[in-house]
A and B are shown apart, each in its own frame.
Chain A
Amino acid sequence: MSERKFPPSVTKSHYLFIQNPALVIGSSILAFIILVSLVGPVISRHATTEQHILKRLQGPSLTYLFGTDQYGRDLLSRTLLGGRTSLILGLGAVALGLVLGIPIGLITGYFKGRTDEIVMRFMDILLSFPSLLMALLIITALGASLSHAILAIGIANCPGIARIVRSATLSVRNEEFVFAAEARGESHFYIMASEIFPNILPPTIIEGTIRIGFAMLIGASLSFLGLGVQPPHADWGLMIRDSREYLFLSPWPLICPGIALAVTIIGFNLFGDGLRDMVGGSE
């Protein structure tokens, strides 16, 4: 537990940046996006649903920093609030995927044998659908709303997460400390929860982080298709959908949410990659 020693000329943060730029850039982007989408809508000058029909489709100006959309609503406020929706959707869907996927992966990887065979073949069937199609299927059955979108994307994410968790479990399963736990008569639940789970957490978190970006993308796609967030709520996918028809009159309603979405997804992916490098490097 000795203090890490760094070359004298290099500060700690500088060293981390050299070692793992992806992590530093990714986490900076995410910190910025999260901060802005939490604080932004509160302090912004215009309400998101406030319409100024005379000022529609304006370019950026001092009053409207990002310009306005086809109803004359402030694009900045809407982009900020849309970020909140997207983050809720991404995080919620992946959280749901983890809640479903971790137990499935742990149990199949731990017990192996027939349980594993049956459950994983079923997961393979789920995996064979493209996740957007899967989500569409569920939304069509349940009806369009933000919570249904989260549910649908969460379920679509579950087989992939279950696979990752299972393969991590399989390798930890053969570690000698697991045999030692069996040899002293621990219950299956204890071994899974207390011996195996902490050790599969790092790869699972990394997988989850990378999936958040993709979940947001699918969420935006659903909204774009009119099956996710419903108007007049602000959402990036929805904004892109609405702006399509006015693209040649003003590109700003498309550009703002588009860039926001892209940057956020890149942020999550960089962060996930950085995490993976960090975990891989320390072992």
Chain B
Amino acid sequence: MVCATWSGGANDGGQLFAFQESVGGTVNSTLLEIRNLSVHFESRRGKVQALRDLSLKIGPEETLGIAGESGSGKSTLAYAIMRYLSANGRITKGEILFMGESLLDKDQNELRKIRGNRIAMVYQDPKSSLNPSKRIGHQIAEVFQIHQSFSRKEAWDRALGLLSLVNIPDPAFHAEKYPHQLSGGMQQRVVIAMALSCGPNLLIMDEPTTGLDVTTQARIIELIGDLKRRAKASILYITHDLSVIAQVSDRVGILYAGELVEVGVAEQVFHSPIHPYTVGLLAALPRIEVEKQFKPIRGKLPDLTNIPSNCIFSPRCDHGDETCTNQSAQLQEVEEDHFVKCLRSKEAFTSQASEAQSLPFRKGNPSGQPMLVTDHLKKYYSETNYIGKWLGFPIPEVKAVDDVSFHIRQGEVFALVGESGCGKTTLGRVITRLLKPTAGKVSFYKRRPSGQEIFGTDEFRRSVQIVFQHPDSSLNPMKKIGTIIERPLKLLGFSRPERSKNARELLELVKLDPAYLERYPKHLSGGEKQRVAIARAFASDPEFIVFDEPVSALDVSIQASIITLLMELRASRDLSFLFISHDLSLVRHIADRIGVMYLGKLCELGPVGKIFQHPYHPYTRALLSSIPVPDPSISREAIRLEGSVPSPRNPPLGCCFHTRCPDKLGQICEETSSPLILVDEDHWVACHISLEELQKATISGRIEIK
């Protein structure tokens, strides 16, 4: 096996990829072809048919995006190509042809030569892809030494070249670092650099940006776009995120329950989707640019151990008829290079989906009385190092929430947004009195008419509830659903028959079958578990509920149904919500007002419409510009944030954003922190830049149509 060799100087990223094409001859229009691939896994429940009869092609220098929800088999596909399936997985049918050769006929030795050299893979979690005990430069150089027997010096130079190729600033400096010293985005860049080190013909990326923040994600997407041009490699990009797929792919395939239901050129699939599942997925996605209602897809994923012979999507399809329940669908070409697996593909389904409906949810009451007021709230974590404390060492404190003052009004949905580690979860927990504040105060007032402040713990617990992020963790696995929902009712002193009656009603409220009362959490899907968690929170008939990322662990089609449920409940019961989320598109649709957090501080606060239309704070602007749009013809340039988020253990002096701010003024930003200033009615911003300047600034790279 010959690896492509580099030419060009070490730090000359641009020319690095002018490598000699040294791989023998076969230059045809397909690099990878998969024909009728079927994979199943042996499990205790029987054979899980993870992929069935899947065919696709990737051309040279083409990026194919594969989108699918959990359980669609998208990772199985990646592992099957790499021949990395776990011991209980078996390829039962089909062929995988890579550069004209069948990968299924290769033995382990031949495969090892192909992996890394010709096909490289980038995984979701960069931490586990890097060796924590080696400097990153050495990790990359090692590949050159082993695979291409370069000298130490030469290999090191090439490693530096690769680091600059993936836009790591000051490669010589960062090459000496250990993985844990780099931020998540940088780590992912290093992993990508390693994957590129042998000049692979095919790069498989399995959810490479899923664990990253939106501003970091924007830069990785930018990098991938860059590499497409420079690295001359084909990319198979696998993700659940349609917006990201739209931004990176040339062609897009939609995977559902192990079958490819639609595949075509990105513009075709996103602009004129034909398969009802694709249409449903796109409709379920909250969009940032349009206030269109997003609709859930009803039903749930079929049991993959027991595949029906008819169309796999028919139980969830709104457009099916008798043929769909009797026949199996085949992938057929509907227009040039656009294939759809639907029995009724000739009918146009799209017309219904594009009907723009305005959202029924919003019901802001800007003059409502404040219900919750936080006053200079602080929460510092200190390490529990008692020995150190006794000896008088200074114990560093993590400033998770640092001097936050805001209020939430009666009947309002207030959203806290920010990237991971900004302190939004801690703030939510301090507000619900799960954590004691280090300083400052949270006051909570009763609903009208009395409007009195609530002091007593019991009354507070009844009135304020919280719903958490992880459906798997928020229900005790050892208890039946009935017990879980009845427990708060028991605390409130309901009798046994009242409790079981109320529990049934609560389940109906969240649209679950009362038969679920007798089940254990492990028998429920993620969305159903989250519904139970919501029912539990509603049991005490609260006035105010904190939702801590309630849908971020769920698939898009389910997310929409949970959000619709929440907003219906809010409207019917006149509740106030604090909605903590990192998903700005979602927040745009449901919130009345939002607060943007960065490093434990609020940097902008105001009505959702105003902030999305005209963000003032440089950080809000960067955040908004980084949101990927699920439309391949819309591209916008994200405002680049340099560096990584500083450690909250040692936040920068002055304005906490000054280390990354693209519009930094100078000394004043480094020395004094800015308070929240009123810029417009109900709209506050914490920035030193003058209001006139801020007013002029727009999201640079505002939505442009190509």
Residues of chain A at the chain B interface (Cβ within 8 Å)? 1-2, 4-5, 112-114, 117, 175-177, 179-180, 182-186, 195, 198-199
Contacts and interface: CB of A to CB of B under 8 A. Distances in A.
A8 B113 CA distance: 40
A113 B383 CA distance: 10
Contacts of B488: 184
B74 to A, nearest CB: 23
Given A175-B473, A176-B473, A5 B46 contact: yes
Given A176-B469, A179-B434, 14 more contacts: A4-B45, A5-B45, A5-B46, A112-B384, A114-B386, A117-B386, A175-B474, A176-B470, A176-B473, A177-B475, A177-B476, A184-B487, A186-B491, A198-B478
A54 to B, nearest CB: 61
Contacts of A180: 466, 468, 474, 533, 536-537
A183 B466 contact: yes
25 contacts: A1-B523, A2-B45, A5-B44, A5-B45, A112-B384, A117-B384, A175-B473, A176-B468, A176-B469, A177-B476, A179-B434, A179-B466, A180-B468, A180-B536, A182-B434, A183-B432, A183-B461, A183-B464, A183-B465, A183-B466, A184-B461, A184-B465, A184-B491, A185-B461, A198-B479
Contacts of B468: 176, 179-180
A198 to B, nearest CB: 4
A182 B436 CA distance: 13
Interface string B412-427: 0000000000000000
B152 to A, nearest CB: 43
B344 interface: no
Interface residues of B, number: 35
Interface in B456-515: 457-458, 461-462, 464-466, 468-470, 473-479, 487-488, 491
Nearest to B384: A113
Contacts of B369: none
Given A5-B45, A183-B461, A184-B540, A177 B386 contact: no
A5 B303 CA distance: 14
Nearest to A5: B46
Interface of B: 44-46, 305, 384, 386, 429, 432, 434, 457-458, 461-462, 464-466, 468-470, 473-479, 487-488, 491, 519, 523, 533, 536-537, 540
A111 to B, nearest CB: 11
A112 B384 CA distance: 9
Contacts of A117: 384, 386
Nearest to B305: A5
A199 B476 contact: yes
Given A176-B470, A179-B466, A185 B45 contact: no
B62 to A, nearest CB: 40
B434 A183 contact: yes
A195 B473 CA distance: 12
Nearest to A178: B476
Contact of A199 (B469, B478, B533): B478
B530 to A, nearest CB: 11
